[in-house]
C-alpha cells in the first residue's frame, strides 16, 4: 500500500513509499491555491540537535577518544605515553583472563537473558487478568526493579553473607550448615539471581504488549476450540514478537556490559581505617566477567590503553551479536504493519 | 527542494567530520570539565585539597578555620577519587594537594614527574626542621632511582609500623595461651599456630578468627618485609626486576598460602563484608596485625559501647618475624603530595605546615587522638598517654620504633598493580589449589609485565 499526497490541483496522488521515505522529514503538503511553505530541513535538525549534541559529546567523542587511546600505552596519569600500534589488541589475544572473562560473560548472558525474558513474560501473563487487586500485584512485582542496582547488590551481600547473612541464619534453624553463597561455586548463581531480581521491569513492557493484542482474535480462537496454550503460542506470542525482539536485544547488551554487580558482591578489601572498598581482583572467579577485567585494567593496573582496546573489542562483539539477532528476526518477528512493501512478517 | 535546504547526505557528512575533529580535541573538553577554580568570585585564593575528611574532622576544624582566615583563602576539600584525579592530571589542572597511600605509590608518582620537589619549601620552613624529621620521611624521598634518598616530594599525615600486633587478652586467657611479649617479637609460624587454636567455628560459620595478618592490606609490603627478615630482597638494585623465585620469597608465599588455607582470618576462603576494624570491635578477631593507628579504632566511635572493654583487653605487640633480621617497616605512611602543575603550591605547603607541622594546632589536635606517629619528632609529646591503655600502647610503640625501616618500592610498578598481581596469584593458590611453583610462575610473569609496561612508559 502506498501513501497518498495531494497534488497541485488538489487531487490525491499515490506517492510510492520509497520516494516518500527518501524525502525524509522534509515532506511537502501542497493543496489547492493555498500552498503551505515547505518545512526546511533545518527545522528538523534544529529540533533533534539537543540529542545530537549530547550524542556527540557524551558518546561519539569519548568513543573515538578511546579508540585513539587503545593504540597507546597511556597510564591515565602522566604524559609518559607512546603509540604502540596494535600491541594492545594482540595482548588481548594472548591474555587468559580476556578469554575467561569473555567465556564467563557469555555463559552469564546465555543464562540470564532467556530467564529474564521468560520470567518477565510469565509475570506479565499472570497479571494481565481482571482480578481484584491485580494492581497491587503489579506494583509488588515492579517495585524491585525500581530500587537502584547498588542498593540491591549490597542488600544481597548482607542477605547471603556466610557468617552474618539472613539466609544462613534461617538455614541454621533447620540444622543446615552455613553456605558460602558469595564464594565460588555459588557466587555465579547468586549473581544470576540478582539479575532476575528486576524481572518487574520486563513485566511492565510485556504487559503493555499483551494489552495491545486484539481481544477479538483470542475470542475467535476460543470459539474455534483453541486451548490456552494454543492461543498463547499461535496468537499471543507472534503478535508480541516485536516486544520480545526489543527485550531480547536490550537484555543481551545489558548482560554483556554488567560490571557493578560482581564488583559489589565481592568481599571488601581489608585495608586500613575506613577501608572495605571493592577491588576487581577480589571478585570471585565465577563472577569475573569481561567488564570486571576491563575495570581492573583501568583502575588496578593503570593500563588505560589496554583497557580501551578491550572496550572496543567488546563493542565489536556487541555489534556482531546484535546484528545476528537483527538478522534472525526475519524468521520469528511478526509485524502487523507492512514493512518494506511486504505484508505481515518482516 | 529549496536551494537553501541541507541534504541529508551533506548533513551526515559534516556531522561526521565534526565528530572526528572534536574527538581529537577531546582532551580540551576534559580540561574544561575537570578544571578546578583557583579563585573565588570575591578574588580569594581557592586551595583544592583532595584529602578525605579534612573538612569533617572536628578536631582539625578550628585549625582549618584559622588557616583560611590567616591566608585569606578558601580550602575546598574533595574526597580522594582516582578517576577524577586522573582526569585532572591529564587535563593539566590538578588539585593543589592529593592524598596518597604513601610507601608503594610514591616512587611511581615521582618518577612520572607528577609531584613537586619540596626541598625549597622544607629549606625555608619554620615547622619542618631537618633535625626534627622522623626517618619515615624516607617514604617520600626519591633520588631518581631509589626511594628513601634524595629530594622530598610529600609528607605523611602520620605513620605506623603496620605489621605490629593487637591481641585480645580475654580470648587468649580463655584458650589458656600465654600472652605474647610486648617487647620481643614472635614468629609468623607461632602466630599461625596460636591463631588455629583461637579460631572458632560453628555450623559452618566463623564466629571468631584466630589470627589475621590483614590479607589485602599492602600485600607487597608484607611480602617484602618477610623476605627482608630472612636477609633477602624482593627487588634488585635498580628496581627493574622483582624475583619471586628466591628461597626467601617462596617461603613467604608458601606461608601466606598455608595461612589462607588454615582460615584463621578473613581471606580468600573466608570473606567479610567489611574491613577488620568493625570485625575486631564485634569481638570476632583474636589477633590482628595493624599498627599504632589502630588504637584510634579501639578508642573511637566505631567501637561504640564496646570501646571501654576493648581498651581493657587489647594489647599492642611487636610485628611478627619471619627470620633473624628484625625488620618492622611502615608499609603505608599515607599522606599528601603537591602536584607539579598545582596552581597554589606555596599555599599548599603552608597548609601542610598547619596540618602536621611541629607544634601547630592542627598537629596537636590530630596526634592527641592517637591516630598514628608524627613526622615531626617534637610532635610525639602530643600522643595520648593519659589512660592505662594509651600509656601501655605508647610504651610498646616507643620501644619498637627503633626497628623502623623504610621499604623501597620500584618506580616502574604502580602499587595497585602489584597488589592486584599478588592478590590474583595467591587467591588462585588458596582457592584453586595451584602449586607453589605454578603460583610463583604466574606471579613472576604478571609482575614482569607490569614492570615492562612501567619501564616503557617512563622510557627506561
Domains in chain A: ranges and CATH = 3-69 (no CATH), 91-332 (1.10.3720.10)
Give residue A38's pLDDT: 60
The pair phi, psi for residue B162, each rounded to 5°, is -70, -10
**Mind telling me how many Å the CA of A276 is from chain B's nearest CA?**
5
Q: Which three cell numbers stand for residue A43?
A: 527545522
Structure-block grid coordinates of residue B320: 611478627
Q: pLDDT value at position B203?
A: 86
Facing B458 at nearest CB: one of A56, A80, A157: A80
pLDDT tens readout for residues B313-336: 999 999 999 999 999 999 999 999
Residue A30 pLDDT:
47
Residue B17: per-residue pLDDT: 52
pLDDT at B33 over 50: no
What's the confidence (pLDDT) of residue B72? 93
Q: For chain B, say whether A43 makes contact (Cβ under 8 Å).
A: no
**Option in B29, B215, B332 nearest A270 (CB):** B215
Tell me which chain A residues have a C-beta less than 8 angstroms from the C-beta of B270.
162
pTM here? Answer: 0.82
% of chain B residues with pLDDT over 70: 91
Q: Of B237 and A335, which is predicted with more confidence?
A: B237
Give the closest-approach CA distance of A260 to chain B in angstroms: 16
Cis ω before A185 (30° cut-off from 0): yes
Asked whether residue A191 carries a pLDDT value surpassing 50, the answer given is yes
If you ran DSSP here, which 8-state letter would residue A60 be given? I
Task: Residue window 216-275, chain A: list those with CB within 8 Å of chain B.
Answer: 266-275
Can you give the pLDDT at residue A27? Answer: 46
Report the 3 state secondary structure along B333-360: CCEEECECCCCCHHHHHHHHHHHHCCCC
User: What percent of chain A has a predicted confidence (pLDDT) above 90?
Assistant: 66
More reliable by pLDDT, A322 or A82: A322
Q: Do A281 and B420 touch (CB under 8 A)?
A: yes
Rounded CA gap, B147 and B137, in Å? 10
Inform me whether the C-beta atom of residue A41 falls under 8 Å from chain B C-beta atoms: yes
DSSP structural state of residue B298? H
| Run of H or E including B212 | strand B205-212
Give residue A338's pLDDT.
61
Q: Measured between alpha carbons, how far is A142 from A159 in angstroms, rounded to an integer?
A: 21
Domains and CATH numbers, chain B: 45-159+334-388+399-403 (3.40.190.10), 165-328 (3.40.190.10)
Lowest mean pLDDT across A78-92, A195-209, B374-388:
A78-92
- State how far Cα B264 lies from the chain centre: 24
Condensed to tens digits (0 to 9), the pLDDT of residues B196-211 reads: 999 999 888 899 999 9
Q: Each residue of A216-227: pLDDT tens digit?
A: 988 999 999 989
Per-residue pLDDT band at A238 (split at 50, 70, 90): very high
A64 to chain B: which residues are within 8 Å by CB? 19-20, 23, 26
Of A78, A82, A270, the CB nearest to B275: A270
Flag if B293 and A68 touch (Cβ within 8 Å): no
Inform me whether the pLDDT recorded for B449 exceeds 70.
yes
Long-range contacts of A169-178 (CB under 8 A, 24+ apart): A172/B203, A172/B205, A177/B203, A177/B204, A178/B203, A178/B204, A178/B205
Q: Is A65 on the interface with B (CB under 8 A)?
A: yes
Collect all residues of chain B within an 8 Å Cβ-Cβ radius of residue A79: 113
Query: Shortest CB distance from B271 goes to which of A38, A178, A182?
Result: A182
ipTM over 0.95: no
Residue A15 reports pLDDT greater than 60: no
pLDDT at A188 (0 to 100) = 96
State the sign of the Cα–Cα–Cα–Cα dihedral B302, B304, B308, B310.
Answer: negative
pLDDT on residue A294? 96
Largest Cα separation within chain A, whole Å, is 89
CB contact under 8 A, A270 and B272: yes
The cell numbers describing A206, all together, are 510485556
pLDDT beyond 60 at B86? yes
| pLDDT tens profile B146-188 | 999 999 999 999 999 999 999 999 999 999 999 999 999 999 9
A307, A259 contact by CB (below 8 A): no
Query: Is the pLDDT score of B384 beyond 90?
Result: yes
Amino acid at each position: 500500500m502506498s501513501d497518498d499526497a495531494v497534488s497541485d490541483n488538489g487531487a490525491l496522488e499515490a506517492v510510492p513509499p520509497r520516494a516518500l521515505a527518501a524525502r525524509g522529514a522534509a515532506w511537502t503538503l501542497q493543496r489547492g491555491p493555498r500552498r503551505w511553505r515547505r518545512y526546511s530541513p533545518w527545522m528538523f535538525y534544529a529540533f533533534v540537535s539537543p540529542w545530537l549534541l549530547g550524542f556527540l559529546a557524551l558518546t561519539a567523542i569519548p568513543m573515538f577518544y578511546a579508540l585513539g587511546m587503545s593504540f597507546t600505552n597511556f597510564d591515565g596519569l602522566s604524559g609518559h605515553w607512546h603509540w604502540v600500534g596494535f600491541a594492545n589488541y594482540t595482548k588481548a589475544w594472548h591474555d587468559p583472563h580476556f578469554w575467561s572473562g569473555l567465556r564467563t560473560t557469555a555463559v552469564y548472558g546465555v543464562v540470564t537473558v532467556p530467564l529474564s525474558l521468560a520470567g518477565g513474560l510469565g509475570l506479565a501473563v499472570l497479571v494481565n487478568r481482571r482480578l481484584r487487586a491485580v494492581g497491587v500485584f503489579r506494583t509488588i512485582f515492579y517495585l524491585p526493579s525500581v530500587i537502584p542496582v547498588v542498593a540491591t547488590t549490597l542488600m544481597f551481600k548482607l542477605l547471603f553473607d556466610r557468617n552474618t547473612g539472613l539466609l544462613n541464619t534461617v538455614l541454621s534453624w533447620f540444622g543446615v550448615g552455613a553456605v558460602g553463597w558469595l564464594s565460588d561455586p555459588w557466587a555465579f548463581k547468586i549473581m544470576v539471581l540478582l539479575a532476575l531480581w528486576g524481572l518487574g521491569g520486563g513485566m511492565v513492557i510485556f504487559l503493555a504488549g499483551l494489552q495491545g493484542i486484539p481481544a477479538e482474535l483470542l475470542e475467535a480462537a476460543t470459539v474455534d476450540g483453541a486451548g490456552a496454550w494454543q492461543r498463547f503460542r499461535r496468537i499471543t506470542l507472534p503478535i508480541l514478537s516485536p516486544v520480545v525482539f526489543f527485550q531480547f536485544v536490550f537484555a543481551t547488551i545489558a548482560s554483556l556490559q554488567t560490571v557493578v554487580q560482581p564488583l559489589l558482591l565481592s568481599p571488601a578489601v581489608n585495608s586500613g581505617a575506613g577501608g572495605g572498598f571493592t577491588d576487581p581482583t577480589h571478585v570471585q572467579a565465577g563472577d569475573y566477567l569481561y567488564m570486571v577485567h576491563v575495570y581492573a585494567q583501568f583502575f588496578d593496573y593503570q593500563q588505560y590503553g589496554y583497557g580501551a582496546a578491550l572496550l572496543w573489542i567488546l563493542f565489536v562483539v556487541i555489534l556482531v551479536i546484535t546484528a545476528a539477532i537483527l538478522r534472525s528476526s526475519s524468521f520469528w518477528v511478526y509485524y502487523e504493519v507492512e514493512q518494506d512493501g511486504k505484508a505481515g512478517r518482516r | 527542494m529549496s536551494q537553501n535546504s541541507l541534504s541529508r547526505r551533506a548533513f551526515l557528512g559534516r556531522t561526521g567530520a565534526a565528530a572526528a575533529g572534536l574527538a581529537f580535541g577531546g582532551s580540551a573538553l576534559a580540561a574544561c570539565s575537570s578544571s578546578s577554580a583557583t579563585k573565588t568570585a570575591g578574588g580569594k585564593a581557592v586551595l583544592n585539597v583532595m584529602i578525605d575528611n579534612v573538612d569533617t574532622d572536628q578536631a582539625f576544624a578550628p585549625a582549618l578555620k584559622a588557616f583560611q582566615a590567616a591566608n585569606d583563602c578558601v580550602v575546598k576539600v574533595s574526597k580522594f577519587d582516582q578517576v577524577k584525579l586522573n582526569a585532572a592530571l591529564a587535563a593539566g589542572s590538578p588539585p593543589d594537594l592529593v592524598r596518597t597511600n604513601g610507601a608503594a605509590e610514591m616512587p611511581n608518582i615521582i618518577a612520572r614527574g607528577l609531584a613537586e620537589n619540596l626541598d625549597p619549601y622544607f629549606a625555608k620552613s619554620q615547622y619542618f626542621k631537618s633535625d626534627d624529621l622522623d626517618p619515615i620521611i624516607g617514604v617520600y624521598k626519591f633520588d631518581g632511582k631509589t626511594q628513601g634518598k634524595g629530594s622530598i616530594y610529600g609528607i605523611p599525615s602520620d605513620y605506623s609500623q603496620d605489621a605490629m600486633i593487637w591481641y585480645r587478652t580475654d580470648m587468649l586467657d580463655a584458650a589458656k595461651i600465654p600472652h605474647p611479649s610486648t617487647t620481643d617479637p614472635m614468629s609468623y609460624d607461632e602466630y599461625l599456630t596460636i591463631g588455629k587454636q583461637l579460631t572458632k567455628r560453628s555450623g559452618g560459620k566463623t564466629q571468631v578468627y584466630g589470627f589475621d595478618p590483614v590479607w589485602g592490606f599492602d600485600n607487597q609490603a608484607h611480602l617484602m618485609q618477610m623476605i627482608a627478615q630472612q636477609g633477602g630482597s624482593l627487588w634488585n638494585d635498580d628496581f627493574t626486576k622483582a624475583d619471586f623465585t628466591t628461597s626467601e620469597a617462596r617461603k613467604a608465599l608458601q606461608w601466606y598460602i598455608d595461612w589462607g588455607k588454615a582460615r584463621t582470618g578473613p581471606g580468600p576462603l573466608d570473606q567479610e563484608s567489611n574491613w577488620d576494624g568493625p570485625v575486631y570491635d564485634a569481638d570476632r578477631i583474636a589477633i590482628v596485625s595493624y599498627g599504632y593507628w589502630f588504637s584510634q579504632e579501639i578508642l573511637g566511635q566505631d567501637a561504640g559501647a564496646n570501646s571501654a572493654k576493648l581498651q581493657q583487653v587489647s594489647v599492642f605487640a611487636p610485628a611478627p618475624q619471619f627470620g633473624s633480621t628484625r625488620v618492622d617497616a611502615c608499609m603505608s605512611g599515607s599522606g599528601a603530595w603537591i602536584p607539579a602543575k598545582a596552581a597554589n603550591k606555596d599555599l599548599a605547603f603552608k597548609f601542610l605546615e598547619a596540618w602536621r607541622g611541629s607544634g601547630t594546632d592542627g598537629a596537636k589536635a590530630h596526634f592527641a587522638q592517637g591516630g598514628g606517629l608524627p613526622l615531626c619528632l617534637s610532635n610525639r609529646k602530643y600522643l595520648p598517654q593519659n589512660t592505662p591503655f594509651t600509656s601501655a600502647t605508647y610504651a610498646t610503640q616507643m620501644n619498637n620504633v627503633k626497628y623502623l625501616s623504610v621499604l623501597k618500592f620500584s618506580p616502574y610498578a604502580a602499587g595497585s598493580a602489584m597488589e592486584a598481581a599478588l592478590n590474583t596469584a595467591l587467591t588462585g593458590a588458596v582457592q584453586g589449589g595451584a602449586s607453589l611453583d605454578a603460583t610463583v610462575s604466574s606471579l613472576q610473569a604478571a609482575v614482569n609485565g607490569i614492570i615492562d609496561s612501567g619501564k616503557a612508559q617512563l622510557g627506561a
